[in-house]
A and B are shown apart, each in its own frame.
Chain A
Amino acid sequence: DTAVSQTPKYLVTQMGNDKSIKCEQNLGHDTMYWYKQDSKKFLKIMFSYNNKELIINETVPNRFSPKSPDKAHLNLHINSLELGDSAVYFCASSHGRGHQPQHFGDGTRLSIL
């Protein structure tokens, strides 16, 4: 019974393709996030959704489009993939308020050829 699950775990694709990463949480949290971790391990927030509404949208190319069909899901769609998109993408969730920590998925390693 995984708390935050991402699929796929690995994604290898060609430059220019469109791909999606799915994320689901079964913790009953109302806030979900996407992070990007680059090759130097730097972890940066990309998006945050609270009750299906976008609340944080960092400076991310508009090729990245998050979609939250319900509170338990936050998918990430990437158009026209570029070499610089190669990274590990983490989904996370938490309660919207309070000191509750974020729970992370296992990450999706995206490699662009």
Chain B
Amino acid sequence: AQTVTQSQPEMSVQEAETVTLSCTYDTSESDYYLFWYKQPPSRQMILVIRQEAYKQQNATENRFSVNFQKAAKSFSLKISDSQLGDAAMYFCAYRSLNNDMRFGAGTRLTVKP
């Protein structure tokens, strides 16, 4: 079964600075999807960004971008110009073609004013 590892239980960043959250995964599949979800204290799960494994180009959504390294099985999230509202738990997720979805343990991001 696929596993997703987030090695940083907690991270902090100064407002307006940039922070990178790490994610690695283990799989024998060649095609799959990767996601980052955000869970603020309200406990909603909010999609931040997604990446198809067959696309080499890194996904970007406004201040959020990923560094997808397929050979290294790495999928890190970069948040630029951090804002107070970015404070949340961030989950990396792997989805196989049969819809099996696996989440990492999460990284708690604190944004300091």
Contacts and interface: CB of A to CB of B under 8 A. Distances in A.
- Chain A interface extent, by class: 20 to 34
B98 interface: yes
Contacts, number: 50
A42 B105 contact: yes
Nearest to A50: B99
Contacts of A90: 45
B64 to A, nearest CB: 14
A100 to B, nearest CB: 9
Interface string A81-113: 000000010101010110101111011000000
B37 to A, nearest CB: 8
Contacts of B35: 101
A94 B44 CA distance: 16
Contacts of A97: 97
Nearest to B42: A106
B52 to A, nearest CB: 5
Contacts of A96: 99
B91 A43 contact: yes
B99 A41 contact: no
A23 B36 CA distance: 23
Interface in A37-94: 40-45, 48, 50, 55-56, 88, 90, 92, 94
A31 B105 CA distance: 24
B105 to A, nearest CB: 6
A59 B36 CA distance: 25
A66 to B, nearest CB: 15
B47 interface: yes
10 contacts: A33-B99, A42-B105, A45-B100, A56-B100, A99-B33, A101-B35, A104-B44, A106-B42, A106-B43, A106-B44
Report the 6 A-B pairs with minimum CB-CB distance, sorted nearest first.
A104-B45, A43-B103, A101-B47, A99-B52, A41-B106, A99-B33
Interface of A: 31, 33, 40-45, 48, 50, 55-56, 88, 90, 92, 94, 96-97, 99, 101-104, 106-107
